[in-house]
Chains A and B, each alone.
Chain A
Amino acid sequence: MTAERLRAYFPILTLVALVILVGTFDTSFLRIENLMQLASDVTTLFVMALGITFVIYIGSIDLSAQSLASMTTVIVSSAIPVIGAAAVPLALLIGAGFGAVSGLIAVKTKIPTFIATLATAGIAYSIAQYVSGQKGLSIDVSLRESWLGWSFGNIGPVPKEIIVAGALLVVATIVERRTVAGRIFKAIGAGEAGAISSGIQVERFKIAAFAISGALAAMSGLMLAARLSGGSPTAADQFLLPAIVAVLVGGTPLTGGVGGVVNTMVGALIVAVTRASMVYLSIPAQGQQIFFGCVLIVAIALTIDRRKVRTVK
């Protein structure tokens, strides 16, 4: 009983245990500015995961986030010189639009979201390549300062990325726990049949969830573009699976309904620490993926709440 109730805390506990573990190997890891650094590096991944959380929360999945983020870096890099600040909302809008389209396709044609989003990902990638002219683009330093300054550099000791990500987390948490949309997402994830017979327009809110995911993917793209002061069609490569892993390890199962954005923050940090630990524990190059794989299995085995999932597929 208590063990089951305790389970809600397993993600955070796993994180704490990991940090302590690495810390005892190499105390310099525990230096506050270092931990802060660690956090700021994972922000782009986290923001993407944040979006994906909403989709997984309703029991679907979004594989287009990575391509959307890459596309955004390209769009921003090429748009900023022309339209300046407007590029930022534009990018977010495009992201949200793309997400909504994925949702719409899935809902209307009843294609599993796994495939629908995979397909839209391909489309996004093509657009990115076309817009970029298949080159790496760079944003002029001054432009970057003036339009993307909000997402890099520090305020005092704190990296702005952390502040931005933190703000997004707060907003997402409010959306999840304090808004009608959040409540309905939870209802859909926990019991779609019940939600339908309660007269909820499930399809509409599913599309909304995908739109949010798209917008946040675009957001992570923006932050990436700011960090790289440029963009390329492959800028966000290797983001997707870690992002999904972050969501799942955080304790939001693929079946949806439980967990949420705060869990995802923990999950993202777990991923970050795991990666950093490879440097700190000086895991040999060949061993790193094996290490990551094993940590993954252990982490998920610890954090998943089996009561919520009847048959584990």
Chain B
Amino acid sequence: MPFIRSFIERETLRRRDFLLAGAYGLGGLAASSVLPTKAIAAEEMAVAWSYRDRSNPYWNSIAAGAENFTTDTLGRKKEALTHLINEGSNAKSLADIKSFVAKTSGKCAIGCDPNDSPNCRPVVEAVKGGNGYITTIWNKTDDLHPWDIGDNWVAHIGWSGLEPAENTATLLCKAMGGKGGVVGLGGIAANIPAIERKQGMVNALKKFPDVKLLDYQAADWDTTKANAIMSSYITTYGDQITGVFCANDTMAFGAIEALRAEGLAGKVPVTAYDCASQTLEYLKKGELLATVDQNPYWGGGVSLALAYYAATGKFKPSDEPKAHREFYGPTILITKDDADAFKKKYVDSMPKYDWSDFWGPSNGQIQYNRY
């Protein structure tokens, strides 16, 4: 192999450089070794939550719930909870979780949104591989179930978008007096919630033959994008628009601001989904008709709790019925009237949850192929 030989010749030419290189490396070692080294507490069961980002109140409430479990129930410091931010990247989500499992050599409980339904399988497989424990929420493909993977995948929690979206859409149609035109703003088209919520709205519209769905486009959960699309809607359909359906609140904000620009804010009913503090403000101002709270605080806490107690052997997932391995979380419909009550109960002061009561507030087992 002349190639290899010539290559080696060239390399040996640089032997001296390489010695210097070694010195540099050692320098790095020396530099790093003076830094304080942190030993991992091996006896403690590490806890982490893997989610998209910190820019969205939904994820903040998730984190808050998880932190509450860490502090109140486990009696550790807030910092004991590791945040794995995937920034919407499947690869990073997977990589971070793997790193975490490896770091804790399997002594860990993880709450996780896999970010993209196909990403769920590799995540749970990775956790199983490292013998950690994980509870997932939201994104998984229909053909994948915790009981197929085993105890390491403790449970999967979903929030059915179907019925709540149907309810809000029904309210919307009633507010429109049962006639007129609706425009819709959907989430990232590939996301399960986006699909379910759209379906829920469609089901509701079936009940109101005089209400026409003018247009429905994906605004990718993005305020700015929703804002742009909404204003274009107004150009296209003008007065025909008598109601707006949004697949979540961040997009609803964009839509409402687009209406405000036309002086229509509050005149055209808008429904949202999810419930950040701003959402309540819009509700109280009457610019938002209704929204649905999915109590992410509870979701964040309980999913971590499930993983933790399974990991510590408080219960054995495989002994539980399927309804306890895949279940819907609770949802609350909020309108102008009960906005204040809701704020008092869930925003100003968080209710005390018994994190070991996993299935109390559940809305039953997850069902498939409903549309």
State the A residues within 8 Å of B (CB).
2, 5-6, 8-9, 12-13, 16-17, 20-21, 23-29, 31, 33-34, 37-38, 41-42, 44-45, 73, 129, 132, 134-138, 140-141, 178, 224, 227-239, 272, 275-276, 279-280, 282, 284-286, 288
Residue from A37, A129, A279 within 8 A of B82 (CB atoms) = A279
Main secondary structure of the interface of A (DSSP, over half): helix
- Residue B91, interface by CB 8 Å: yes
Q: Which residue of A lies closest to B139 (CB)?
A: A136
Give the interface size class of chain B: 35 or more
Flag B69-101 by CB within 8 Å of A: 1 or 0 each: 000000000010011110111111011101110
Interface pair A286/B25, CB less than 8 Å apart: no
- Taking a contact as CB atoms under 8 Å apart, the answer to whether B21 and A9 are in contact is yes
Which of B16, B28, B87 has the most chain A CB atoms inside 10 A of its CB?
Answer: B28
| B31-39, B323-331, B356-364 - interface stretch | B31-39
Contacting residues, chain A, for B141 (C-beta < 8 A): 136, 138, 230
- Which residues from chain B contact A233 at a C-beta distance below 8 Å? 189-190
Residue numbers in A under 8 Å from B95 (CB-CB)? 38, 41-42, 272, 275-276
> Contact at A239–B85, with CB atoms within 8 Å?
no
Question: CB of B54 within 8 A of chain A?
Answer: yes
Interface centre among A229, A231, A233 (most CB of B within 10 A): A229
Cβ B54 vs Cβ A280 within 8 A:
no
Q: Does B276 contact A (CB under 8 A)?
A: no
Interface stretch (choices B114-122, B226-234, B240-248, B257-265): B114-122
Q: Which of B31, B38, B190 contacts A132 (CB 8 A)?
A: B190
Task: Let me know if A228 and B121 touch, CB within 8 A.
Answer: yes
Given A26-B40, A228-B122, A232-B118, check contact A237 B89 (CB 8 Å): yes
User: In the complex the two chains form, is B118's CB within 8 Å of A24's CB?
Assistant: no
CA distance A25 to B99 in the complex (A): 14
Per the bound structure, the CA–CA distance linking A21 and B195 in Å amounts to: 45
User: In the complex the two chains form, what is the Cα distance from A230 to B144 in whole Å?
Assistant: 12
Chain B 54-78, CB-CB to A under 8 Å as 1, else 0, gives 1000000000000000000000000
A9 with B98: CB separation less than 8 A: no
Tell me whether B17 and A2 are in contact (CB under 8 A): yes
- Whether B105 sits at the interface, judged by CB under 8 Å, is yes
Is A285 within 8 A of B54, CB to CB? yes
- Chosen A-B contacts, 25 in total, with CB atoms closer than 8 Å, are A9-B21, A16-B25, A17-B24, A17-B28, A24-B32, A24-B35, A27-B37, A29-B102, A41-B94, A230-B141, A232-B116, A232-B118, A233-B189, A234-B188, A235-B90, A235-B118, A236-B90, A238-B88, A276-B95, A279-B99, A282-B79, A284-B79, A285-B54, A285-B83, A288-B85
Contact with A37, one of B38, B54, B90, B102 (Cβ below 8 angstroms): B102
> Nearest chain-B residue to A43 (Cβ)?
B91
Is A25 in contact with B37, judged by CB distance below 8 angstroms?
A: yes
- Would you call B103 an interface residue if the criterion is a C-beta within 8 Å of the partner chain's C-beta atoms? yes
Asked if B318 CB lies within 8 Å of chain A CBs, one says no
Chain A contacts for B352, CB-based, 8 A: none
From the candidates B25, B37, B92, B102, name the one contacting A13 in the complex (CB within 8 A).
B25
- Nearest B residue to A141 via CB reads B143
Nearest Cβ on chain B to A35's Cβ, whole angstroms: 9
State the CA gap A126–B144 with chains docked (Å): 28
Are B38 and A25 neighbours in the complex by a CB distance under 8 Å?
yes
For B89, list chain A residues within 8 Å (CB): 237-239
* B20 interfacial by beta-carbon distance below 8 Å: yes
| Distance to closest chain B CB from A131 (angstroms) | 12
- Complex interface: chain A residues within 8 A of B24 (CB): 6, 9, 13, 17
Which residues of chain B are within 8 angstroms of A23 by Cβ–Cβ distance? 32
User: B223 on the interface (CB 8 Å rule)?
Assistant: no
Complex Cα spacing A134 to B40, Å:
44
Q: Which residues of A contact B341 (CB under 8 A)?
A: none
Query: What are the residues of chain A within 8 A of B29 when measuring CB–CB?
Result: 17, 20, 24
